[in-house]
Amino acid sequence: ETGVTQSPTHLIKTRGQQVTLRCSSQSGHNTVSWYQQALGQGPQFIFQYYREEENGRGNFPPRFSGLQFPNYSSELNVNALELDDSALYLCASSSGLAGGTDTQYFGPGTRLTVL
């Protein structure tokens, strides 16, 4: 089994810019979830994609959007970056929905800094 990978590892952007983060799911998994972890906090659920459709969104504005591709890899797009978007962004893949009874496998994260 190949693990979950994320790219890039680190990224620096300025306010107002747009960013795309990428995630490759573990082989055989049809669900990918994205999380934001700000300093001192636990991971916060952004949204999840199940078979290319968004299925559940946390308390994040519409400028956070995503895609899941037929090979189940995924992108997280953030428009109009704000300073508070600086965080570690994690993706996780699983055979079922994120908080369900299936195990989630996490990637190593992308550290985004917004200046």
CB of 80 to other proteins, least distance (A): 24
The residues of the shown chain that bind other proteins, judged by CB under 8 A, are 3-4, 35, 40-45, 48, 55-56, 58-59, 90, 92, 97-109
Phi, psi (5° rounding) for residue 95?
-80, -20
Residue 101 CB neighbours (<10 A): 8
Nearer to other proteins, 48 or 74 (CB): 48
Tell me how far, at minimum, the Cβ of 106 lies from other proteins, in Å: 4
Smallest distance, Å, CB 39 to other proteins?
A: 11
Kindly compute the dihedral angle of the four CA atoms of residues 103, 48, 22, 104, in this order, to the nearest 10 degrees: -10
Cα–Cα dist 47/35, whole Å? 7
Nearest residue (CB) to other proteins, 74 versus 81: 74
Compute the half-sphere exposure of residue 76: CA atoms within 13 Å on the CB side of its CA: 30
Task: Name which of 66 and 109 has its Cβ closer to other proteins.
Answer: 109
Q: Closest CB to other proteins among 20 and 55? A: 55
Which 8-state DSSP code applies to residue 59? S
Residue 51 C-beta: closest distance to other proteins, Å: 14
